[in-house]
Amino acid sequence: MTKPRAFISRRIPRPALEIIASACDYTMWDDLMPAPRDHFLRAAAEADGVLVMPTERIDAEFLAAAPRVRAVANMGVGYDNIDVPALTARGVLVTNTPDVLTEATADLAWALLMAAARRVVEGHKAIEAGAWGAWHPFYMLGQDVFGATIGIVGAGRIGAAIARRARAFNMRILYHNRGRAPQLEAALLAEYRAFDDLLRESDYVVAATPLTAETRGLFDARAFALMKDTAVFVNISRGAVVKEEDLVEALKRGRPWAAASDVFAAEPTPRDNPLLSLPNFVGTPHIGSATLRTRTDMATLAARNLVNALTGQAPLTPVNPEVWPIKLANGSR
Ligand code: DGY
């Protein structure tokens, strides 16, 4: 029996590759950098299913180039890189990798929050520059974290994991979400707030929401103006939920007091991004899920999803389950 054909758009951890190799004829772009778009599209055109990174655009151009593809396994929980309605309309299954990256991403949110609040990067740079002067009562004062109020925008898995960390810091937890999160309220005494109220009341505002039409540009000049002048803003969701130019102006004016972000409007962000020249901004290069175990778990889950989909077994974490079961080009399921 012929095996289904898979294309893997980047080098992936070996355990994940072995899962695909055991069930599919596959090709892989065996590199850490992305394939040129035309190569990617040509390779996808030969495949029944593809395993892709969150940096790959899966859109109308992809669908036109790769009409044989019936399954797209994204190695990421966010899937704003994929035009899901277009793929659903064509009967193409989309899967993502929830759960496995929750704790690692919440850890990074916490690292950024602490770094911005306690001026960790600014302090390191001062030492490096030989600018560490005498100890004095007002040197490098930061913001208290323990016992402060945190406002989490987006109460999904990652938002909830951030809230659990906040609880250990004896913080008052506010959240804003499309729907209420009764579990968060019961287990962590989290309190629901309207968006503007959350911004006004929080010492720490954390963006943990997916990028959607509603959240694009949500954190703009108006939102920053509502924050406290001692507030710290942290973004671990997607760069586009923030109007970056508004954040630059807001940080220059000191409201919020500081910000930290793992994600940027354009990635990689250019060296001359004005945010990077501000002492009250800390950036990391989209490394929320970047631990060896988490990335291996993400790749493995994406591989299992792809193999399941291409061999007639239900995918583990489908984004559009309504298209299941799918029919491959050779007629098999
Ligand atoms: C995701 O999974 O959406 C992350 O942003 C990728 O690291």
**Residue 330: predicted pLDDT:** 73
Identify any residues that bridge with 8 across adjacent strands, giving them in sequence order. 28, 51
Tell me which residue has its CA closest to atom 3 in ligand 1.
Answer: 78
> Residue 332: which pLDDT band, with cuts at 50, 70 and 90?
low
State how far the Cα of 311 lies from the Cα of 1, in Å rounded to an integer: 12
pLDDT of 329 above 90: no
Q: Which residues are catalytic?
A: 238, 267, 286
Helix, coil or strand: residue 74: strand
List, for residues 219-257, the tens digit of each pLDDT value. Answer: 999 999 999 999 999 999 999 999 999 999 999 999 999
List, for residues 144-154, the tens digit of each pLDDT value. Answer: 999 999 999 99
28 CA from centroid of ligand 1 (Å):
21
Using omega within 30 degrees of 0 as the cis cutoff, is the peptide bond preceding 268 cis?
yes
State how far the Cα of 44 lies from the Cα of 34, in Å rounded to an integer: 14
CATH (one of 3.40.50.2300, 3.30.70.270, 3.40.50.720, 3.40.50.970) for 5-100+292-323: 3.40.50.720
Q: What distance, in Å, lies between the first and last C-alpha atoms of the chain? A: 13
List, for residues 157-181, the tens digit of each pLDDT value. Answer: 999 999 999 999 999 999 999 999 9
**Residue 306: predicted pLDDT:** 98
Residues 6+ apart with CB under 8 A from 89: none
Q: Is the CB of 98 under 6 A from ligand 1?
A: no
Nearest by Cα to 304 from 293, 295, 312, 315: 315
List, for residues 251-290, the tens digit of each pLDDT value. Answer: 999 999 999 999 999 999 999 999 999 999 999 999 999 9
State how far the Cα of 287 lies from the Cα of 301, in Å rounded to an integer: 19
Burial status of residue 194 (CB atoms within 10 A of its CB: 0-12, 13-18, 19 or more): exposed
| Secondary structure of 90-136 as H, E, C letters | CCCEEECCCCCCHHHHHHHHHHHHHHHHCCHHHHHHHHHCCCCCCCC
> Could you tell me where in the chain the CATH 3.40.50.720 domains are found?
5-100+292-323, 102-283
Q: Is the CB of 301 under 6 A from ligand 1?
A: no
By the 8 A CB rule, do 199 and 205 touch?
Answer: yes
| pTM attached to this predicted model | 0.96
Nearest atom (ligand 1) to Cα of 76:
2
Nearest atom (ligand 1) to Cα of 97:
2
Nearest atom (ligand 1) to Cα of 96:
2
State how far the Cα of 290 lies from the Cα of 76, in Å rounded to an integer: 11
**CATH code at 102-283:** 3.40.50.720
Residue whose entry in the numeric block shows the structure tokens 């007002």: 138
Q: How far is CA 170 from CA 84, 115, 145, 148, 182, in A?
A: 40, 18, 9, 8, 20
Nearest by Cα to 241 from 270, 212, 204, 269: 212
